[in-house]
Amino acid sequence: MTAATSVWLFQSVHAVGLSVWCGMAAINNLQAFRGSQGAVAATMSMAPLREAPSIATPLLARAIASSTVHRMALLLVLALQILAAVAGIIGSHALITAGGMDTALPWLNLALSCAAAFLFTMHLGGLWFAYWMRQETLQLTHLVLLIWTLATFALFNQHWA
């Protein structure tokens, strides 16, 4: 196997993995929409901060109890997940069948941009609603996924051997 082929293979695995991950995230949110909306509602209503022992903070004034707003926030994330998955599938197909990054790159960058957008939506939304106080694991998950997105952008956009 040549160096160029091994780079193409590694990029292809990541392109397909990104597409499948975004697609599965979208399917999960579609299939369990009420549960996902409940998770969004918990963060946006800041319910974990009210659990015993409650955390008294002026940030609680930011809480949003509207189920309509929770649903709209989830629909925004879901739309970005679907767009990321579709763009990733198109890019993966172009990369694998054409064997080159030139045709695939705009699609893969769109997929990564949409993934970064929904991850930033969740991460910055969580930051606004003080999820670092009681939902540390969720915050760390969002940070790790953002780092993965950044590393994948470098993988796709760097010119390798």
At 161 the pLDDT is 65
Q: What is the largest CA-CA distance in the chain?
A: 60
- Whether pTM exceeds 0.85: yes
The pLDDT tens digits of the residues spanning 80-121 come to 999 999 999 999 999 999 868 999 999 999 999 999 999 999
Cα 86 from Cα 23, distance rounded (Å): 8
At 160 the pLDDT is 79
Residue 144: count other Cβ atoms within 10 Å of its Cβ: 11
